[in-house]
Structure 1
């Protein structure tokens, strides 16, 4: 069965067992930053909303930190560190940090609940663009294709972000943006895109 196939979303979400945890940070470039496990606790949508998602350990947290120019998103070599919806509120755009998928360091039950949370967000009508991050060393894999098909079938605009392009093993991927959080290559293009939405 498709991992992202809609089924009994509300019931699974209500029984998730997750407790609400919010965290706020100070930053002159971002008006507010928070995280939550619950869709209904996201702030009222009044801005263009871009969500970021990708396989666990694809470099999503590093990319967010590069965009924000500070370490506010946890970076780890251990897959599956992001397990909530993080939101970063700019003047004209809100960035949503979604949990990764595939090889997450969580139990099967938690992984299923995280999938429901992500699926519910994608289908809730808020999202304007979904950025799918692809590790340039591995290319587009099965779960990536599954997710791409799911969002395209739900008429959600998608952009592909090729990450870790500084690595020797990196491959050329047909992508909207090619970035390295280590060398900062491609980061300016993403920031410029966000500024001009």
Structure 2
């Protein structure tokens, strides 16, 4: 008998032009459409995050299973699953039958997850901002953009682009098997 199937391992991140993803435990911009996209994509799935990311969010997000990575053996968070390693977190999602697991940060968790990731949902924010947390630079030979949608700046919201990237060569999956991609959000125009 086979064990649980390995879920698609997806990173979801919003990143500024200079690679910044956070400042003082928060996003250094406000892009409402990105928050809606995050919710739509992650609803019903496991979210893997570091302890600091959970604490910056301040609560367990409804409709999703939160898995917190920490090296602290005594750490507990009501409503969350606590894992000691990224692999243990992915295994928990697989055991629960999740077909896609989302790695949602922070910076160190992204660095650990990048070699294992199959897909990246990236929001590129067209701004250079000060920050203390960055996203690792992607090797262009390792990733290809399979979907992109640009949104112009409007009403104080910086221009941004929603992208889906897939690993150029995925060793763990049959190359003829293409996972289906969710649709990009429809961004209403503000006329």
Same fold by TM (over 0.5)?
A: no
Structure with a larger share of its residues in helix: 1
Q: Normalized against structure 1, the TM-score is what? A: 0.35
Q: Which has the higher strand share?
A: 2
- Higher-Rg structure is 2
TM-score by length of 2: 0.36
